[in-house]
Amino acid sequence: MAGINIKSVTKHFGAVQVLNDIDLTIERGEFVVFLGGSGCGKSTLLRMIAGLESITRGEIWIGGRRVDQLPPGERGVSMVFQSYALYPHMTVRDNMSFGLRNIKTPKAEIDKRIEAAAKILEMPHLLDRKPSALSGGQRQRVAIGRAIVREPDVFLFDEPLSNLDAGLRTRTRVELAQLHERLGATMVFVTHDQVEAMTLADRIVLMNNKKIEQVATPVEIYTRPATRYVAQFVGSPGMNFVAVANVEETGGFATAVLPDGSRIKTSIPLNGVAGSELTLGIRPEYLVATAPEQGDISGTVETVERLGDRSLVHVRLKDGSKIIGTDPGMSTISAGTPIAFVVDGRKLTIFDQNDVAHHAVN
């Protein structure tokens, strides 16, 4: 087990900069997820930790040792990729032991580690099969097993679940969380799937535009996003953004006045949010459908999506913008009718002209 320190790391591919001055500390035993849109540099950052990619500037430390000039094999890391790349002609056991045999680990030691890894991954019965006789999820488990037997200080995963179908993906995700509990190892996991990030991470590193946008626990990322980019990246459906005409003060807190004149009281201190081009951020779950004229925001229903446990109500406001709110259970609201939403003012965020978030006081 080892922590990781990334200090002022920059990466260029030729003339193109892909990461700019990244600073990040990952604690021993922590499960950290790199989350962000395609091309934001998640894999590149992970591969630089692994030593599969050079760094242009900065330093990388693992377990108190500077590693950025060391070859991958000397960094104490094991990496698991999206494509599990098993050797088809070898059994599971041989696939798992291959790396250890290469570095001349004694056979008794190899056998011991494989038995232990197979037990952790619940696949002792699969050890003598070839990869062609395994399901996708089982193959991915073999790839994880191959990483486990090396007993690395740090596990690095690059979208290891994205080739699996939805059900298997969920099960393997749970297995991975349990594996982390059992091994207590430091794990860094790359994904663009917010659900994986929210469920697996101790902390999420949200990346955008060559930089880290926010590093925080999943709860914090969801409830107190630092910027509008973070706010729109997590949550499904995403946060609603409503234009604010101006703000008024109510007992020190901001009341947002919308273009149609409706007033929404918040628990956000007015101090600091003044300015033009303000946007109100409201998660769909804090917009609850009610009879017209009884809520805080009103409009016309465009679509109702009945998901079973709740329904998503798509509404067009008078100024033409659209928002999505909720109605519990199988909604009986129908498209084309007028509707209003009650807004939970304690759960709102105001974004300023720089897209920086202002939150309610706790």
Residue 194 interacting entry, from Mg ion, ligand ATP, none, C-beta within 5 to 8 Å by type:
none
Query: Could you tell me the smallest distance in angstroms from the CB atom of residue 190 to Mg ion?
Result: 6
Calpha distance 52→130 (Å, rounded) = 28
Count of positions (residues) in the chain: 362
Query: Could you tell me the smallest distance in angstroms from the CB atom of residue 231 to Mg ion?
Result: 23
Site size for ligand ATP, by CB under 6 A?
Answer: 11
Stretch that binds ligand ATP, among 31-39, 60-68, 93-101, 115-123 (CB under 6 A): 31-39
Is residue 71 within 8 A of residue 106, CB to CB? The reply is: no
Binding to ligand ATP, residues 38-97 (CB under 6 A): 38-44
| Nearer CB in complex with ligand ATP: 110/187 | 187
Residue 192 interacting entry, from Mg ion, ligand ATP, none, C-beta within 5 to 8 Å by type:
ligand ATP
| Nearer CB in complex with ligand ATP: 39/124 | 39
Residue 362 interacting entry, from ligand ATP, Mg ion, none, C-beta within 5 to 8 Å by type:
none
Phi, psi of 232 (to 5 degrees): -80, -15
State how far the alpha carbon of 304 is from the alpha carbons of 236, 240, 321, in Å.
15, 16, 17
Residues that bind Mg ion (CB under 5 A): 43
| Nearer CB in complex with ligand ATP: 48/339 | 48
Binding to ligand ATP, residues 246-285 (CB under 6 A): none
Distance of CA 341 to the CA centre of its chain: 29
Residue 152 interacting entry, from Mg ion, ligand ATP, none, C-beta within 5 to 8 Å by type:
none
Query: Could you tell me the smallest distance in angstroms from the CB atom of residue 40 to Mg ion?
Result: 9
Binding to ligand ATP, residues 8-27 (CB under 6 A): 13, 18
Query: Could you tell me the smallest distance in angstroms from the CB atom of residue 16 to ligand ATP?
Result: 6
| Nearer CB in complex with ligand ATP: 54/294 | 54
| Nearer CB in complex with Mg ion: 45/256 | 45
Binding to ligand ATP, residues 176-195 (CB under 6 A): 192
Calpha distance 227→35 (Å, rounded) = 15
Query: Could you tell me the smallest distance in angstroms from the CB atom of residue 160 to Mg ion?
Result: 12
| Nearer CB in complex with ligand ATP: 44/262 | 44
| Nearer CB in complex with ligand ATP: 9/123 | 9
Phi, psi of 324 (to 5 degrees): -120, 125
Query: Could you tell me the smallest distance in angstroms from the CB atom of residue 14 to ligand ATP?
Result: 7
- Nearest-CB residue for Mg ion: 43
Residue 18 interacting entry, from ligand ATP, Mg ion, none, C-beta within 5 to 8 Å by type:
ligand ATP
- Site string (143-182) toward ligand ATP, x via CB under 6 A: ----------------------------------------
Q: Which residues bind ligand ATP (CB under 6 A)?
A: 13, 18, 36, 38-44, 192
